[in-house]
Amino acid sequence: MASPLHRLLTATVGVLGHPASLLAVVGGGFIWRAVEPESFDLHAIATLVAIAMTLVIQRGQNRDTAALQAKLDELIHATGGARDEVAGLDEQDVDDIDEIRHAGHTA
C-alpha cells in the first residue's frame, strides 16, 4: 500500500506535468510584472523560463512513461508464463515492487 507521502508526490508530479501548470507560471509572471515591476528584471525572467522549461520536460516525461508502461503491460499480458501482477507495478510503492521481485526470484 502506498504511503500518504508517496500518493502526494505522485499526484504532485501529475499536476506539474499538466499543461495548466505552464499557464499558471505564465500567468504568475504577468501578475508579478503588474504588481512589482521594479523587481521583474532579467533574473526574474530567467527564473520563469527555467520553471516553464522544467514543466515542459516533466510533461514529456509523464507522456513517455505512460506510453512505455502501457506497452510493457500489453507485452506482459500477451506473454505466456509471465506473471500478470507485474503489469501494474508502476502503480505500486517501492517496497511492494521489491517484494514482488523477490517472490519472482524464489518461485
Per-residue pLDDT for 14 more than 70?
yes
Q: Residue 15's pLDDT is what?
A: 86
Contact present, 21 and 55 (Cβ < 8 Å): yes
Question: 46 phi and psi, to 5 degrees?
Answer: -60, -40
Contact present, 76 and 86 (Cβ < 8 Å): yes
CA dihedral over 15, 18, 22, 24, signed as positive or negative: negative
Segment 48-92, tens digit of pLDDT? 999 999 999 988 888 888 888 888 888 888 887 777 777 777 777
Number of domains in the chain: 1
Domain residues for the domain of 98 are 4-106
pTM score over 0.75: no
Q: Where are the beta strands (DSSP E) in the chain?
A: none
Burial of 90 (0-12, 13-18, 19+ CB in 10 A): middle
With vertex at residue 45, the alpha carbon angle to CA 25 and CA 24, rounded to the nearest 5 degrees, is 5
